[in-house]
Amino acid sequence: MSLVNIKCPNCGASIQLDNSRESGFCSYCGSKVQIQEAINKIKIDRTGDIKNYLSIGQAAEEAGNGQEACDYANKILEIDPQNAEGWYLKMSGTGCMPGYNC
């Protein structure tokens, strides 16, 4: 088992629950929390982050700032190592770094 940080869907509090179980109870408001559902929700929330990083990274790349584009690509890949757009940004960002022909 391991504890995961989950947002209570009822009161929005940050709670820690055992991710090997199906459900648990919020220690603040006492409502029942579906743990797997809550974990999936967190992943969906991160998709918004990926989109943000991607648009900032692409803007940086267009401005010729390869280092910054790479930094954002790395942030995307930390969240989702399979993200194709993240890898693409990382590659094109690397190509824009000093010493490379952009």
| CB 9, CB 33: distance < 8 Å | yes
* Least distance from Zn ion to the Cβ atom of residue 35, Å: 13
Residue 28 makes contact with Zn ion by CB under 5 A:
yes
The 3-state DSSP class for residue 4 equals: strand
Residue 25 makes contact with Zn ion by CB under 5 A:
no
Residue 11 makes contact with Zn ion by CB under 5 A:
yes
- Candidate ranges 27-35, 38-46, 60-68, 88-96; the one touching Zn ion (CB under 5 A): 27-35
Residue 27 makes contact with Zn ion by CB under 5 A:
no
Residue 26 makes contact with Zn ion by CB under 5 A:
yes
| CB 13, CB 29: distance < 8 Å | yes
How far apart are alpha carbons 44 and 26 in whole angstroms? 21
| CB 34, CB 23: distance < 8 Å | yes
The single-letter code of the amino acid at 72 is Y
* Least distance from Zn ion to the Cβ atom of residue 47, Å: 24
| CB 26, CB 33: distance < 8 Å | yes
- Candidate ranges 8-16, 17-25, 53-61, 70-78; the one touching Zn ion (CB under 5 A): 8-16
Binding interface with Zn ion (CB under 5 A): 8, 10-11, 13, 26, 28-29
